[in-house]
Structure 1
Amino acid sequence: MNTEVTQTADKTPAETPETTTGGRIYRPLTDIVETDEGVTLMLEMPGVAAEDVDVTLEKRVLTIRGKVHPAHPEKLQLAYAEYGEGDFERAFTLSDDFDPEKIGASVANGVLTVTLPRAEQAQPKKITVTAS
């Protein structure tokens, strides 16, 4: 199969633009699964709630953003940190094969799953072969 989803930007914390909050923006790791029915994207976005995810499609570019609300325990002072906190952003260019009205997204256990169903006319057709 030919993958119709391509990444438009490769961002790392050091290469991202500054945000209005002064925080970092991370490019979430993504798995892409392709079937005859469409494509599913699974993005790692720890600490992002469903209401803090923004998925937009404009001119075939699917942009995914996730806002993290850092948790700072009261009366505790951080002695050492390995986990960098920041928001998430990733963009993909889609082919015309997808139905924009049927794109869906859900978040569970720190993973955002975006389903991109193929348009009816773009789905492969099975041809039945008969014996004569």
Structure 2
Amino acid sequence: MSTDITPATEKTTTDAPETAGGGRIYRPLTDIVETDQGVSMMIEMPGVAAGAVEITLENRGLTIRGKVEPMRPENLELAYAEYGEGDFERAFTLSEDFDPDRIEAEMRGGVLTLTLPRALEAQRKRIAVKGA
């Protein structure tokens, strides 16, 4: 089985562009699981609410964006920070084997799960062999 999803041009956090608001854009870590029925993608986006995720599919380009609402305690000044706040963006190129009308997305616990079913005509079929 070959993967039918190709990551688009990647940027690391060190060369990631800044947003107009001065925040960084991070490339979220992604796991891809492939089956005969399709592909599932698990994309880590901590701090992103379901309503702050934008997923677009244009031609064969799948783009995922997640906006983080900064969490700053009131009346406290940050003395030290290791966690860099920023938005998330990731792009993939899909093969033509997927059914765009049946793609589903669910956000839970900072992980976006995308289910991309294969088009029925593209699913692998097993052919039974009859014996004489």
TM-score calculated relative to the size of structure 2: 0.97
CA distance in 1, matches of 2:62, 2:22: 25
Q: Deviations over 1:37-82 (max 9, x none)?
A: 0001100000000000000001100000000001101121211100
Q: 1:87 corresponds to which residue?
A: 87
Q: State the 1:14 CA deviation.
A: 2.6
Q: State the 1:13 CA deviation.
A: 2.5
Listed as ranges, the gaps of 5+ residues in structure 1 are: none
Runs (4 or more) in structure 1 with deviation over 3 Å come to none
2:51 aligned with 1:41, yes or no? no
Q: 1:55 corresponds to which residue?
A: 55
Listed as ranges, the gaps of 5+ residues in structure 2 are: none
Q: 1:11 corresponds to which residue?
A: 11
Calculate the aligned-residue CA RMSD, in Å.
0.8
Counterpart amino acid of 1:82? E
Q: 2:78 corresponds to which residue?
A: 78
More helix by share: 1
Counterpart amino acid of 1:93? T
Q: 1:21 corresponds to which residue?
A: 21
Is 75-84 or 46-55 further displaced after alignment? 75-84
Q: State the 1:105 CA deviation.
A: 0.5
CA contact (8 A) 1:97 1:118 kept: yes
Identity of aligned residues (%): 66
Q: State the 1:16 CA deviation.
A: 2.3
Counterpart amino acid of 1:22? G
Q: 1:111 corresponds to which residue?
A: 111
- Matched residue SS, 1:14: coil
CA distance in 2, matches of 1:9, 1:53: 20
Q: Deviations over 1:14-53 (max 9, x none)?
A: 3223321111000000000000000011000000000000
Q: 2:96 corresponds to which residue?
A: 96
Q: Deviations over 1:91-122 (max 9, x none)?
A: 00000000000111110011000111000000
